[in-house]
């Protein structure tokens, strides 16, 4: 457990020392969301309807941007090999890295989303559902993304390939996440969608570190 906390602490420290990387992904999120009204037009009704989908798609893309860094720098300077050799189970260390990735790339998106939601004229309760859905959904994105990041480690054209592998797997998160907000707005209640999202998160939290570990071992072999 202490090893897991140490990994989280180390990755957070590294992220704090290189703030620009975290901030770039964050501003990418803001810019993508702001582009949609410019492309579609300023009618409030339409914007209100597409807001959940736009915010979620932008969150997926912003997560994709930061996934590359998850293992690449550690792979380059040899830290990853030391992690594999360490007596602590690799799955635990990987879980720590994924948690740190969520804290630096997922959590800022969650905190920023209500502000952007205001631009789209979402009411307060819908904003609450949006934040709840993102809170459940963004860890899921980090977990699934970690598998892709480990598979494409040190591979030619890794970045584009990563999006090709991971984005189809993100579809359930997108559907239930954006669906929760839409269901709430239309008066159906978001409970079902949020429960499914939580179930997916539980499933991924169990399997994803395991699959990531297997992929990392293959990459380093």
Partner 1 sequence: MNNRLINWFKFASPQSFYPLAGKMIPWFWALAAVFGVVGLWISFFAAPTDAQQGEGYRIIFLHVPASWMSMFIYLVMAAWAGLGLTLNTRLSGMMAQALAPTGALMAFLSLWTGALWGKPMWGAWWVWDARLTSELILFFLYIGFIALQAAIDDPRRADKAGAILALVGVVNIPIIYFSVKWWNTLHQGASVSLTRSPSMAQTMLWGMLVMALCFWMYSIAVALMRVRAIILERETHTEWVKELDEVKR
Task: Read off the tokens for 202.
Answer: 């539980």
DSSP output for 7-37: HHHHHHHHHHHTHHHHHHHHHHHHHHHHHHH
Q: How far apart (Å, rounded) are the C-alpha atoms in residues 216 and 55?
A: 31
CB of 41 or CB of 157, closer to partner 1:
157
Beta strands in the chain (DSSP E): none
Stretch of 31-39, 91-99, 100-108, 144-152 lying at the interface with partner 1 (CB under 8 A)? 144-152
155, 189, 191, 202: which one binds partner 1 (CB under 8 A): 155
Residue 60 within binding range of partner 1, rule CB under 8 A: no
Would you say 62 and 109 are in contact if contact means Cβ atoms under 8 Å apart? yes
31, 164, 195, 206: which one binds partner 1 (CB under 8 A): 164
Q: Give, in degrees to the nearest 5, the angle at Cα 50 between 44 and 53.
A: 150
Q: How far apart (Å, rounded) are the C-alpha atoms in residues 39 and 58?
A: 15
CB of 29 or CB of 170, closer to partner 1:
170
Residue 182 within binding range of partner 1, rule CB under 8 A: yes
Residue 177 within binding range of partner 1, rule CB under 8 A: no
User: Segment 184-213, which members bind partner 1 (CB under 8 A)?
Assistant: 196, 200, 207, 211
CB of 165 or CB of 205, closer to partner 1:
165
CB of 15 or CB of 216, closer to partner 1:
216
Sign of the CA dihedral with 94 first, then 101, 215, and 177 last:
positive
Stretch of 28-36, 67-75, 105-113, 154-162 lying at the interface with partner 1 (CB under 8 A)? 154-162
> Cα 105 to chain center, whole Å?
7
Interface with partner 1 (CB under 8 A):
147, 151-152, 155-158, 161, 164-165, 167-169, 171-172, 175-176, 179, 182-183, 196, 200, 207, 211, 214-215, 218-219, 221
């Amino acid at each position: 457990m202490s090893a897991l906390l140490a990994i989280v602490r180390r990755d957070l420290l590294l992220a704090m020392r290189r703030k620009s990387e975290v901030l770039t992904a964050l501003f990418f999120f803001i810019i993508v969301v702001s582009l949609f009204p410019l492309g579609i037009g300023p009618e409030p009704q339409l914007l209100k309807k597409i807001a959940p989908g736009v915010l979620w798609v932008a969150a997926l893309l912003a997560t994709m941007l930061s996934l590359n860094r998850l293992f690449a720098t550690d792979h380059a300077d040899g830290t990853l090999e030391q992690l594999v050799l360490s007596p602590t189970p690799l799955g635990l260390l990987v879980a720590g890295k994924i948690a740190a990735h969520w804290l630096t790339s997922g959590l800022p998106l969650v905190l920023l989303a209500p502000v952007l939601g205001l631009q789209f004229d979402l009411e307060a309760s819908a904003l609450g559902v949006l934040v709840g859905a993102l809170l459940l959904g963004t860890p899921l994105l980090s977990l699934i993304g970690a598998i892709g990041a480990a598979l494409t480690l040190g591979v030619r054209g890794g970045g584009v390939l990563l999006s090709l592998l991971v984005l189809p797997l993100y579809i359930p998160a997108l559907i239930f996440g954006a669906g929760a907000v839409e269901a709430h707005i239309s008066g159906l209640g978001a409970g079902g969608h949020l429960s499914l999202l939580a179930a997916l998160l539980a499933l991924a939290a169990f399997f994803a570190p395991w699959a990531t570990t297997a992929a990392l071992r293959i990459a380093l072999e």
